[in-house]
Structure 1
Amino acid sequence: MSSVSVVIPCYRYGHYLADCVSSVVDTNPGVDVRVLIIDDASPDDSADKARAIAAADPRVEVLVHEQNKRHTATYNEGLMEWADGDYCVLLSADDLLTPGALTRAVALLDANPNVGFVYGHPVHFQHPGPPPPARTDDRGTSVWPGHWWLERRFREGTGCITSPEVVVRTKLQHQVGGYDVDLPHAGDIEMWMRLAAHADVGYVRADQAYYRLHGDNMSLTDYAGQLDDLRQRKAAYEAVLTRCGSLLPNAAELDAVVHRRLARFALRRVVRAYDRGRTTTVPLDELIEFAAECWPEYRSLPEYRGLRVRRQIGPAAMPYLQPLVLSAVAHKGREWLWWQSWKRRGI
Structure 2
Amino acid sequence: MQNPNVPDSNSLVSVIIPCYNRESYIAETVNSVLSQTWPNIELIVVDDGCKDGSRKVLESFGRRITILEHQGCANLGQSAAINLGLRQSRGDYLAILDSDDLFAPGKIEKQVRFLEKNPEYGLVYSNGMHIDENGKELYQMHYGDHRPPTGPEQVLEDCCYNVPSNALFRRAVFEKVGFLNEALRSAQDHDYAIRIAEVTRIGYMDECLWNYRRHGGSISNTRTLERWKNGFKILQAALKRYPYPLVTVRRRKAVLHFRLGQCYLKERQYVKSAYHLFLAGIQDPYRSLRVLAGRERLTGPN
For the aligned pair, the TM-score class normalised by the smaller chain equals 0.7 to 0.9
Q: Paired residue for 1:46, among 36, 51, 54? A: 54
- Other-structure match for 1:7: 16
One of 270, 294, 300 as aligned partner of 1:284:
270
Q: How far apart in 2 are the matches of 1:8 and 1:233?
A: 24
Name the residue aligned to 2:168.
167
Distance 1:299-1:199 versus aligned 2 partners, 3 A rule: closer
The equivalent residue for 1:239 is 237
CA contact (8 A) 2:225 2:263 kept: no
Q: 1:126, CA displacement in angstroms?
A: 0.6
Structure 2 partner of 1:98? 104
Counterpart in the other structure of 2:6:
none
- Measured in 1, the distance between the counterparts of 2:195 and 2:291 equals 35
Counterpart contact for 2:77–2:185, Cα < 8 Å: no
1:35 matched to 2:43? The reply is yes
Structure 2: unaligned runs, 5 residues or longer: 1-8, 141-146, 295-302
Cα distance in structure 1, aligned partners of 2:177 and 2:93: 14
Structure 1 stretch displaced more, 15-24 or 251-260? 251-260
Q: 1:75 to 1:225 in 2, by over 3 A?
A: closer
Is 1:196 aligned to residue 197 of structure 2?
yes
1:7/1:37 contact within 8 Å kept: yes
SS of structure 2 residue aligned to 1:181: coil
CA displacement at 1:232 relative to structure 2:
2.2
1:119 to 113, 116, 125: 125
Instruction: Name which structure has the greater RCO, CA cutoff 8 Å, separation 6+.
Output: 2
- d(CA) in 2 for partners of 1:169, 1:111: 13
Match of 1:158 in 2: 158
Aligned partners of 2:246, 2:283: CA distance in 1, in Å? 22
Aligned counterpart in structure 2 of residue 256 of structure 1, from 233, 242, 250: 250
* Residues 101 and 134 (structure 1), Cα distance of their counterparts in 2 relative to 1, 3 Å cut: farther
Unpaired runs of 5+ residues, structure 1, are 136-142, 307-325, 331-347
Q: Deviations over 1:90-120 (max 9, x none)?
A: 1112111000000110011111222121110
Change (3 A) 1:226 1:37: closer
Match of 1:320 in 2: none
Cα pair distance change 1:225/1:113, threshold 3 Å: same
Alignment partner of 1:63 is 2:61? no
SS at match of 2:108: helix
> Residues of 1 paired with 2:19 and 2:81: CA distance?
9
- Tell me how far 1:298 sits from its aligned partner: 2.9
Verify the 8 A CA contact 2:130 2:139 in the aligned structure 1: no
Distance 2:283 2:18 in 1: 44
Structure 1 pair 300/168, CA: closer, same or farther in 2 (3 Å)?
Answer: closer
Q: State the alpha-carbon separation in 1 of the partners of residues 139 and 261 from structure 2.
A: 37
| Superposition RMSD in Å | 3.4
| DSSP-derived class of the 1:286 partner | helix
Shift of 1:41: 1.7
Question: Matches of residues 69-84 of structure 1 in structure 2 within 5 Å?
Answer: 69-79=76-86, 81-84=87-90
Letter in 1 for 2:54: S
Q: How many residue pairs were aligned?
A: 277
Please state how far the C-alpha of 1:46 moved relative to its aligned partner: 1.5
**From 23, 26, 33, the counterpart of 1:24:** 33
Where in structure 2 are the equivalents of 1:219-234 lying within 5 Å?
Answer: 219-220=219-220, 222=221, 225-234=223-232
Kindly state the Cα deviation for residue 40 of structure 1 after the two structures are TM-superposed: 1.3
Contact 1:262–1:291 (8 Å) recurs in 2: no
Q: Quick one: structure 1 residues 133 and 106, their matched pair in 2 at CA, closer, same or farther if it must change by over 3 Å?
A: farther
TM-score (norm 2): 0.79
Corresponding residue number in structure 2 for 1:317: none
Letter in 1 for 2:195: R
- The alpha-carbon distance between structure 1 residues 21 and 329, as it changes in their structure 2 partners (threshold 3 A), is closer
User: For 1:327 and 1:13, how far apart are their aligned partners in 2?
Assistant: 36
- State which structure, 1 or 2, has the greater radius of gyration over its C-alpha atoms: 1
Deviation at 1:38, TM superposition (A): 1.0
What one-letter code is carried by the residue in structure 2 that aligns with 1:185?
S
